[in-house]
């Protein structure tokens, strides 16, 4: 026991990995401010404050004048509440620190899962870094970060149960109930369980159809699937939430208009990281099918397909595929190094990896101590005081705050999110980042107006717009500069503020 207490005070290699990832991902480049690159964070904070102030999730719209008071599913209300809690204590620093911590915890859990599957430490580090790079496009202070962590924990728990069944796996049922109120990505767990049940059935068909062990696993995971599905009903909206999400995911408008629902573009370093993992995953799936391991192959192939269809699923593919990839690659590496001389470079690396692996399998108080220190210190860390000026018209909004607050403004959905953050409850917007709420009719009208639709005047009259805050690249901005009915109040390299002439 004394040895255990002593180790608790000594930093482990796992702690070093966590702290290194935190520094690499958020203390360099765009830093912590990069987590605020999506304006949705603004309305999530304000929705969470509504929950704090009223003791319940909102059921009707809070933020718009175009659909004021209409029914709204605040389906991520628990995440909103967490963001609002840390915001009220620490401001935006708390929001980005919470989101960044959850992201790095998810990566650390995936890494520890890889080692649990007896992966080579160096291969696990390589795949962890590739996965972190591939998923970087979605490192944002939004509710989906909780799905990354909960999926990583759930898959590790399932993996342990497949090796040695225990009652611990049933913790996934209450976990699903919490997950459902954090983020719509809770569907990832029932999908994985469905693939596991189907894969187990295929493996039985290929092998021993009457195997008692196979039937035990099928009944067990089918029961877990049923329990998890029932747990998703524990939310303020009941079954109506599921109907809403189903319509959202089937919407052709959403797939066409929302960038993260579109296929990834292979033109960046992060996409190259994803491409390497994707090719490796597909090759592994073929090998697994050849060896009649259908469940693992189905998991890889399903999430690879999902990531190719929608870029928002890339981090989920990373979480699913990384432990399987490193375990298989480590087997190949181990067989090869066994044939190499003990003093060769491969032999030395293999022994070094074995010596280091123990240090990655424990944690100490240094992770919470590091996080506590970040909470307490303000310098020299570059904590964000506002949303990033590279993405939002922060300075312009600050200068024109008195005119903007409460006015009827036509602006981009992302900038409207920022206006909600700055001016709610005094301010209402035409449209913001809640594309599921506004629907295709209003969404398409918004796009037509931004691109200077010939009927823009009638739409402007219908919604009584008083101001237009337009990105400089919008065709509408060029049109209004030439229109005598509108005058420029202020402009900079990012946006132009127009006022309707009296």
Whether 384 maps to a domain, the answer reads: no
Spatial contact of 42 and 395, defined as CB atoms under 8 Å apart = no
Whether 117 and 188 map to the same domain: the answer is: yes
Whether 311 maps to a domain, the answer reads: yes
Residue ranges, the chain, pLDDT below 50: 1-3
- What's the predicted TM-score (pTM) here? 0.93
Strands ordered across the beta sheet of 495-500:
409-411, 467-471, 495-500, 486-491
Cα of 222 vs its chain's centroid, Å: 27
Element (H, E) at 456: helix 456-463
Q: Inter-axis angle of helices 314-338 and 144-163, to 10 degrees?
A: 40
Whether 79 maps to a domain, the answer reads: no
Whether 365 and 403 map to the same domain: the answer is: no
Whether 401 and 368 map to the same domain: the answer is: no
Whether 82 maps to a domain, the answer reads: no
Whether 86 maps to a domain, the answer reads: no
Q: How many domains does the chain have?
A: 2
| Residue 499 CB contacts under 8 Å (≥ 6 apart), including other chains | 403, 466, 467, 486, 487, 489
Q: What is the pLDDT of residue 7?
A: 62
DSSP track, 81-132:
HHHHHHHHHHTHHHHHHHHHHHHHHHHHHHHHHHHHTT--HHHHHHHHHHHH
**How many other C-beta atoms are found inside a 10 Å radius of the C-beta of residue 423?**
19
Q: What is the pLDDT of residue 5?
A: 60
Size (the chain), residues: 502
Q: What is the pLDDT of residue 32?
A: 92
Q: Per the structure block, which two tokens stand in for 393?
A: 């018209």
Whether 166 and 114 map to the same domain: the answer is: yes
Mean confidence (pLDDT) of the chain: 90
Give the residue from 305, 340, 373 where a domain finishes.
373
Q: What is the pLDDT of residue 210?
A: 62
Q: What is the 3-state secondary structure (H, E, C) of 292-351?
A: CCHHHHHHHHHHHHHHHHCHHHHHHHHHHHHHHHHHHHHHHHHHHHHCCCCCCHHHHHHH
Whether 398 and 439 map to the same domain: the answer is: yes
Of the candidates 283, 326, 317, 325, the residue with the CA atom closest to the CA atom of residue 123 = 326
pLDDT digits (tens, 9 = 90+) for 115-147: 999 999 999 999 999 999 999 888 999 999 999
Q: Inter-axis angle of helices 188-206 and 294-309, to 10 degrees?
A: 140
Give the residue from 319, 340, 373 where a domain finishes.
373
How far apart, in whole angstroms, are the C-alpha atoms of residue 224 and residue 499?
A: 58
Spatial contact of 182 and 175, defined as CB atoms under 8 Å apart = no
pLDDT digits (tens, 9 = 90+) for 199-222: 999 988 887 666 677 788 889 999
Whether 414 and 300 map to the same domain: the answer is: no
pLDDT digits (tens, 9 = 90+) for 40-64: 999 999 999 999 999 999 999 999 9
pLDDT digits (tens, 9 = 90+) for 234-246: 999 999 999 988 8
Whether 363 and 434 map to the same domain: the answer is: no
Q: What is the pLDDT of residue 80?
A: 97
Whether 431 and 323 map to the same domain: the answer is: no
Whether 274 and 154 map to the same domain: the answer is: yes
Whether 101 maps to a domain, the answer reads: yes
Give the residue from 373, 408, 425 where a domain finishes.
373
Whether 283 and 367 map to the same domain: the answer is: yes
Sign of CA dihedral 234, 237, 242, 248: negative
Whether 345 and 411 map to the same domain: the answer is: no
- Please give the backbone phi and psi of residue 236, each rounded to the nearest 5 degrees, phi first: -65, -15
Q: What is the pLDDT of residue 360?
A: 80
For the chain, percent of residues with pLDDT exceeding 90: 72
Range of the domain at 20: 2-37+91-373
Q: What is the pLDDT of residue 208?
A: 65
**How many other C-beta atoms are found inside a 10 Å radius of the C-beta of residue 263?**
11
3-state secondary structure of 78: helix
**How many other C-beta atoms are found inside a 10 Å radius of the C-beta of residue 484?**
6
pLDDT digits (tens, 9 = 90+) for 339-367: 778 778 877 777 887 777 777 877 788 88
**How many other C-beta atoms are found inside a 10 Å radius of the C-beta of residue 78?**
22
Q: What is the pLDDT of residue 2?
A: 42
DSSP track, 166-226:
-GGGGGHHHHHHHHHHH-GGGGHHHHHHHHHHHHHHHHHHHS-TT-HHHHHHHHHHHHHHH
Whether 439 and 365 map to the same domain: the answer is: no
Q: Per the structure block, which two tokens stand in for 5?
A: 């207490």
Q: What is the pLDDT of residue 29?
A: 66
Q: Characterize the bridge pairing of strands 495-500 and 486-491.
A: antiparallel
């Amino acid at each position: 026991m004394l040895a255990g207490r002593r180790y608790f005070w000594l930093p482990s290699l796992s702690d070093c990995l966590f702290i290194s990832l935190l520094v690499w991902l958020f203390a360099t480049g765009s830093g912590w401010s990069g987590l605020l690159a999506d304006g949705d964070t603004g309305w999530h904070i304000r929705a969470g404050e509504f929950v704090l102030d009223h003791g319940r999730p909102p059921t009707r719209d809070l933020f718009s004048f175009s659909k004021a008071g209409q029914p709204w599913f605040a389906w991520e209300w628990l995440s909103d509440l967490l963001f609002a809690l840390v915001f009220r204590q620490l401001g935006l620093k708390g929001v980005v620190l919470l989101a960044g911590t959850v992201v790095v915890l998810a990566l650390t859990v995936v890494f520890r899962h890889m080692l649990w599957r007896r992966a080579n430490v160096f291969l696990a580090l390589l795949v962890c870094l590739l996965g972190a790079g591939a998923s970087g496009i979605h490192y944002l202070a939004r509710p989906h970060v909780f799905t990354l962590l909960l999926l990583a924990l759930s898959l590790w728990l399932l993996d342990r149960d497949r090796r040695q069944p225990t009652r611990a796996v049933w913790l996934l049922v209450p976990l699903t109930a919490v997950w459902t109120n954090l983020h719509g990505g809770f569907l990832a767990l029932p999908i994985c369980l469905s693939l596991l049940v189907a894969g187990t059935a295929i493996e039985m068909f290929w092998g021993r159809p009457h195997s008692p062990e196979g039937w035990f696993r099928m009944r067990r995971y089918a029961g877990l699937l049923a329990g998890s599905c029932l747990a998703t009903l524990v939310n303020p909206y009941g079954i109506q939430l599921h109907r809403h999400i189903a319509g959202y995911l089937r919407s052709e408008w959403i797939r066409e208009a929302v960038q993260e629902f579109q296929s990834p573009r292979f033109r960046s370093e992060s996409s190259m990281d994803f491409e390497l993992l994707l090719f490796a995953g597909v090759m592994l799936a073929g090998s697994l099918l050849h060896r009649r391991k259908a469940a693992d192959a189905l998991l890889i192939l399903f999430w690879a397909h999902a990531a190719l269809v929608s870029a928002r699923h890339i981090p989920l593919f990373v979480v699913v595929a990384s432990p399987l990839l490193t375990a298989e690659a480590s087997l190949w590496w181990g067989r090869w190094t066994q044939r190499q001389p003990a003093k060769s470079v491969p032999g030395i690396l293999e022994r070094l990896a074995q010596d280091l692996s123990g240090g990655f399998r424990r944690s100490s108080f240094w992770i919470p101590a590091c996080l506590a220190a970040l909470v307490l210190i303000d310098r020299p860390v570059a904590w964000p005081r506002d949303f990033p000026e590279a993405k939002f018209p922060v300075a312009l909004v600050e200068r024109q705050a008195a005119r903007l607050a409460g006015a009827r403004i036509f602006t981009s959905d992302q900038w409207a999110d920022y206006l909600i953050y700055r001016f709610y409850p005094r301010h209402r917007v035409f449209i913001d980042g809640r594309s599921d709420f506004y629907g295709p009719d209003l969404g398409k009208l918004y796009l037509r107006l931004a691109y200077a639709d010939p009927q823009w005047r009638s739409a402007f009259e219908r919604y009584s717009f008083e101001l237009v805050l337009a990105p400089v690249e919008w065709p509408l901005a060029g049109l209004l500069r030439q229109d005598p009915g509108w005058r420029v109040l202020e402009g900079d390299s990012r946006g132009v503020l127009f006022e309707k002439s009296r």
